[in-house]
Structure 1
Amino acid sequence: MTWSDQSITRRAALATTTGLTVGALLPPDPARAAAPDPAASYTNPVIWQDFADIDVIRVENTYYCSASTMHYSPGAPVLRSYDLVNWEIAGHAVPVLDFGSKYDLNGGRGYVRGIWASSLAYRPADRTFYWLGQIDFARTHLYTARSVEGPWSRRATLPQVYYDAGLLVDDDNTLYVAYGNGTINVAQLAADGRSQVRTQQVFSTPSSIGTLEGSRFYKINGNYYIFLTRPANGQYILRSTSGPFGPYTLRQVLLDLPGPISGGGVPHQGGLVRTQNGAWYYMAFVDAYPGGRMPALAPVTWTSDGWPVVQLVNNAWGRSYPAPAVPPPPRQVTPLTGVDTFDGTALKPRWEWNHNPDNAKWSVDNGLTLRTATVTGDLYWARNTLTHRIQGPTSTATVQLDHSAMRDGDRAGLALLRDSSAWIGVKRDGGATRVVMVDGLTMDGSWNTTGTGTERAGASVPGGRLWLRAEADIRPGASRPGTFSYSTDGVTFTRLGPAFAMGNDWRFFMGYRFALFNHATQALGGSVRVTRFELSTP
């Protein structure tokens, strides 16, 4: 017997599981349960990379997690794990941000728009994964796939705006959505998910609390629960014993709880999930800029009257806990760090573009070729900038770059990319090639460019091949340094330029990323080839 993480879909004979289940008080399947290993433990954050607004489910023996990606493309990554601790990126639910030309950097820009908090669910009746999210406060989109690797396709565009939606697959396979900011609503979708049947307000947040949002919708032991965030320091839960439309009562889950990252924020805005042997966990994110929002995991127990309680360590979210008792994994997940030689003909799912790429201007063929796609002096307007999350607390990205096909006016390199950015790379001007370190690339609070960069150091380089390196310390704190160096042989690296202080303003939401770029300032036609990228930790 298996369970669904959002409901018991068939109480008599259940074939598939999505992890958070009504079956909290049902006995575990002894064939599936694993005995706890008292010596095993895990350390928070379980993922020290930027994955925010988490929704987490279980399907049979596999866990899946989704996250926000704003203006990055493809969007809405889906991560996979077999133990809730070790995760890999399996795919993206939104293959392209086809929501307007601004996501193509065409006449506009989509910074801090795009994929916000969304929801991931699995429907056993049709063996299909569902992703639901609203874009630009205008419409809600529903994507589906039979496998998280894809292909994902848009099943419906709903005219309703389900802000910070939580999708529930009920026992009878009915689709419900909890959503809203302050005012919380529940909608019922048609059986195919393509239209709305009804919607109803179910809760209004009292002024003494402030704002509640970030809905996650569950059915547990016959009761309906809406898990809600008070940004950015609290978590609350609504419960209805009378059906999905309420009435609901409210209880605080946590408020101002010290988190597991020194200098970071309170864990919040995540999801609940149930293991195969009946244990419960809450996976939330921790604001930890400049790196972003990092997932942390804590066990949850339930009171006798049906409310969740996060298990604390010394009155705080624990830095470590006993490892979840789960069956042995069928394989090891793909690490989030390591070497990518761009083998094959497709990018691995660890990569996301800054806005949609011009697909005619890049290719993968046992190496990554980036042809200039934009003539601009502003990296924030340049298409085909390819990004990779930074691994915390400190990590190093090293790139092997063949720049022999660059043209005059071209700029190519490795950046620390956010609303305040810096880079190391190659300038080709007047037939001469120089390696330079540039900072002072900035945007204002409306995400308009206010600085296109100032060269801080440079040197002539021979030949057509170069190794570029960026080191990032994303621990929250005063210095937050990023440093740059280069090598002509891949062995001896020379520091270039001053340390760059990465910004920690939360309003850009996304954390810093390593970014590979190549753009023209005079005319298109040049290219670079990246043959190796390595993300390493001390």
Structure 2
Amino acid sequence: MRLLSVIANALALFSSVSAFSNPPLYQDLADVDLRRINDTYYLSTSTMHFSPGAPILRSFDLVNWQYIGHSVPQLAQFGTGYTLPPGQNAYITGVWASWLIFVPAQNKWFWGGCTNFFQTHIFSSSGPDPTSTWTQISVINQCYYDSGAFIDDDGTVYVSFKDLGQNTFGIAQMSADMTTPVKTQVVINLPSNMTSMEGTRPYKINGTYYIFTSFPDSGGEYVFRASSIFSTSWVLKVFLNGVTPLPPLVGSIGQGALVQTQNGDYYWMGFSWSYPNGRIPVLLPITCDGWPVPTLSSNGQLAASYPNTLTPHPLTNNLTGVDTFAGNSLGVQWEWNHDPDTTNFTVNNGLTLRTATLTNDWYAARNTLTRRQLGPISTATIRMNFSAMKAGDRAGLGLFRDVSAYIGVWRTGNTFTVNMVNNITMNFSWVTTNTGAMAASAAVTGSTIWLRVISDSTPAVDSATFWYSTDGRSFKQLGPSFSTDTNFQYFEGQRFAIFNFAATSLGGSVQIPDFELAAGAYTGVAFGA
């Protein structure tokens, strides 16, 4: 039965049919930038405070994707809060809408983005492979907010951005080595009733310049057009307005990127605001004859499916499945909540988490390791050895957002219990308002436990259940269903999270031999049982 489930999930994720359905990738991947090099496509996305930042995904058909790396290896260079020191955090700051581009003259990839409304940071790969080592090469003391980049015919790179203080769009011409702007100019004064426009993406098509931009007030996407990049006479036109996706996606569509295939076709990928799962990518073909025009259904909405114009190319799946933490480094699917304390975890054919923070506040605890949900319903399961926990330690698996809950083992003296804790909350100043309430508890013996979270983010459900097992075969639900929050202010979607923190003293640890992420509500036997 287990093999059949795995096969079914794989077929659902990587179907080689003649059409693709939206969303092509049901994970929280917002503010996408898309690039094509020969027949390979690359996607970059926002990650806010999660580390490493700016993941890179690869595809050969724009539908099947896999994680291959990150452009921002750590976040500490953005400020002290990114390491979660006592009394500080960096929630929802960090890697916002940004750009990823390959510059042939440099034979390298570059990433750029504004952090903390203050500075623009630029990173580069060490070579033409985007999985090579990335390092920061420049800091520009101006915020190129929600910026985009493109290469003109002569090889010059231009960056478009919003000046938040002036409500204008600007263009920066970059130096050949991508470290400094050599010319910066305001090109667009935003209309007085549309000053919230953001998320610029510049392109040149058939000699004409375009800047795509999102207008969140109306849930729309617009395009500016001009005959030269530094023109001050850009013309504005609607690209999408009031276009909605089909359920289970629920929100408006905007803030995307354009790419041309090797066959000459154009596609635009934006995202749908579909919390608590997050901002989910949608893909649609467009035509471009003077103005880009989206291909919509007969009723003017996002179609249920579109014909493939590229040969389907399934990839090795690292979105779901079992991770046994093989080798001595984490897979590229994982991101920490803030920069981790590298002295307090090891990967060696299994993950060991030592307590890194003395706190009773999960939001203040370092070394919480996260994975994006696979929507709209997915199941995460871990096996955990808890024999090395110290008194006061709390370790387990949860759903992490500004309204959170978890199932975990607590050690009190020499007694171990498995507890479901819910209603862990932050306010919109990202200050913890509730460290959680014990909703249910059960005694456990031995040294190994399986913990499971089933998250259902379909509309009108938006809830999760928490389960445990002492043999990996028979699971018991612990506590009530947890109602997940659908507000947008936290921006990042809900994630599965593995944690271990100390309420009394440091020095304890847990060992995680494996983690499993399955599409749908999986209630069967756990890996390693």
Same fold (TM over 0.5): yes
Q: What is the CA distance between 1:445 and its match in structure 2?
A: 1.2
Please list, as runs of the form range in 1=range in 2, the aligned pairs for 1:98-117 lying within 5 A after superposition. 98=76, 99-107=78-86, 108-117=88-97
The 5 Å alignment of 1:298-309 reads 298-303=284-289, 306-309=290-293
Cα offsets for 1:441-476 (capped at 9, x unmatched)? 10011110000011111111110000000000112x
Determine if contact 1:140/1:158 at 8 Å carries over to the other structure: yes
Offset of residue 393 of structure 1: 0.8
Letter in 1 for 2:514: R
Letter in 1 for 2:389: M
Report what 1:493 is aligned to: 475
Task: Check if 1:125 corresponds to 2:105.
Answer: yes
The residue number in structure 2 matching 1:88 is 66
Tell me the CA shift for residue 523 of structure 1: 0.6
User: SS at the partner of 2:276?
Assistant: coil
Structure 2 CA distance for aligned equivalents of residues 320 and 52 of structure 1: 21
CA distance in 2 between partners of 1:48 and 1:291 (Å) = 9
Check conservation: 2:318, 2:333, Cα contact below 8 A: no
2:132 corresponds in structure 1 to 150
- Following the alignment from structure 2 to structure 1, what is the Cα–Cα distance between the partners of residues 140 and 439? 49
Say yes or no: does 1:242 pair with 2:239: no
Give the equivalent residue in structure 1 for 2:262: 276
Give yes or no for contact 1:370–1:528 (8 Å, CA) kept in 2.
Answer: yes
Alpha-carbon deviation of 1:219?
1.4
Give the Cα–Cα distance (whole angstroms) in 2 for the partners of residues 126 and 334 of structure 1: 32
Is residue 97 from structure 1 mapped to residue 75 from structure 2 by the alignment? yes
Letter in 1 for 2:227: T
Compute the TM-score of the two structures, normalised by the length of structure 1. 0.90
Q: Are 1:78 and 2:56 matched, yes or no?
A: yes
- Shift in CA distance, 218/244, structure 1 to aligned 2, threshold 3 Å: farther
The 5 Å alignment of 1:46-445 reads 46-98=24-76, 99-107=78-86, 108-145=88-125, 146=127, 147-180=129-162, 181=164, 182-231=167-216, 233-262=219-248, 264-303=250-289, 306-314=290-298, 315-326=300-311, 329=313, 332-445=315-428
Matching residue of 1:42: 20
TM-score after normalising by structure 2: 0.92
- Aligned pairs, number: 497
After the TM superposition, list the runs of 4 or more consecutive aligned residues in structure 1 that deviate by more than 4 angstroms: none
Per-residue deviation at 1:43? 1.1
Once the two structures are superposed, what CA deviation does each residue of 1:88-138 show, in whole Å capped at 9, x if it has no partner? 111110000021210000141000111110011111222211111011011
Deviations 1:134-188 (A, max 9, x none): 1101110111112221311111111121000111122222121100054111111
1:200-255: CA deviations, max 9, x gaps? Answer: 11111213434211011111111111111111611111111134445321111011
Please tell me whether the aligned partners of residues 74 and 97 of structure 1 are also in contact (alpha carbons under 8 angstroms): yes
- Cα-to-partner distance string for 1:374-403 (whole Å, 9 max, x where unaligned): 000000000000000011010000000011
SS of equivalent to 1:506: coil
Contact residue 342 and residue 532 of structure 1 kept, 8 A = yes
Give the C-alpha shift of residue 319 in structure 1: 2.1
Which residue is equivalent to 2:4? none
1:465 counterpart residue number: 448
Q: String of CA shifts for 1:354-413, please: whole Å, max 9, x gaps.
A: 000000000100000000000000000000000000110100000000111001000000
1:124 is aligned with what amino acid?
P
Q: Please give the per-residue CA displacement for 1:482-531, whole angstroms capped at 9, x wherever unaligned.
A: 10000000000011000000000000000100000000001110000101
Say if 1:38 and 1:322, in contact at 8 Å, map to a contact too: no
- What letter corresponds to residue 54 of structure 1 in structure 2? V
The 1:527–1:271 alpha-carbon spacing in structure 2 relative to 1, beyond 3 Å, is: same
Paired with 2:426 and 2:209, the residues of 1 have a C-alpha distance of 43
Q: 1:456 aligns with which of 424, 439, 444?
A: 439
Cα RMSD (Å): 1.5
Decide whether the 8 Å contact of 2:249 with 2:272 is kept in 1: no
Gaps of at least 5 residues in structure 2 are 1-14, 521-529
Moved more, 485-494 or 165-174: 165-174
